[in-house]
Amino acid sequence: MTSPSTAKLSGYVTTHKALAGRSHAELEDILGFAPGTLSTGFRLYQLAEPVGPNDFSWKDRTRYSDGWHFDSSIGEYVQRGDELRAHLGRRLNYDDAVVDRELAAFQVAQFKKLNVRSGPGRIVKLLPNTRASAFPDSSFTNVPQQRLHQQEVVRVCRNYHLSAALHCDG
């Protein structure tokens, strides 16, 4: 059950510190929205309840839309999670048991970050008032992104209109 100040949402989330104090144009670039997507404003939500370990996917950074990266060595798009597994495999002499342990430890670390509910590392979701028409890769290289699979309870942090920069205490 949700109150008027809460909602249930899924999709992409990031940290508050990645968005704080940014203009609409910067937010569009940071989050990989087409230019103009936020011109009619947006809502910012904070996760309100714990997220389970199987309720999300690590999608690396917003630099890679939906976690996809073009690998020029093979001429194809690949998921960053697959690249991480390959990197760990090479580093750990292709020992699958060790790689699996490393990936499990990495997932636990991401799970802990996803359940931060206060301070600059708290998890937020920005929802445009207008449906996005495209999702280009971001030019920002260090903005984390996770994808929530299930609808999670979020609380409204604030509604933003036109030129207001993003600020939200809590």
- Residues 2-61: pLDDT tens digits? 555 788 899 999 999 999 989 889 999 999 999 999 988 898 999 888 999 889 999 988
pLDDT at site 33: 92
State residue 162's pLDDT score: 47
What's the pLDDT score for residue 147?
A: 93
- Going by pLDDT thresholds of 50, 70 and 90, the confidence category of residue 1 is very low
CA distances from 6 to 47, 80, 169 (A): 9, 32, 17
**Residue 169 predicted with pLDDT over 70:** no
Residue 32 structure tokens: 């990989």
8 A C-beta contact, residue 48 and residue 42 = no
Exposed e or buried b per residue across 104-120, where buried means at least 16 C-beta atoms within 10 angstroms of its C-beta: eeebeebbeebeeeeee
The amino acid sitting at 25 is A
Q: Tell me: the pLDDT tens digits for 104-154?
A: 999 999 999 999 999 999 999 999 998 888 888 889 888 999 999 988 888
Joined together, the tokens standing for residue 87 give: 């990197």
Taking the C-alpha atoms of residue 138 and residue 142, their distance in angstroms, rounded to an integer, is: 10
With 70 as the cut, is the pLDDT of residue 161 above it? no
pLDDT digits (tens, 9 = 90+) for 78-94: 999 999 999 999 999 99
Model pLDDT, residue 154: 82
The pLDDT of residue 61 is 86
Q: What is the DSSP letter of 16?
A: H
3-state secondary structure at position 31 = helix
What's residue 80's pLDDT?
92
From the CA atom positions of the chain, what is the Rg in Å? 17
pLDDT of amino acid 126: 93
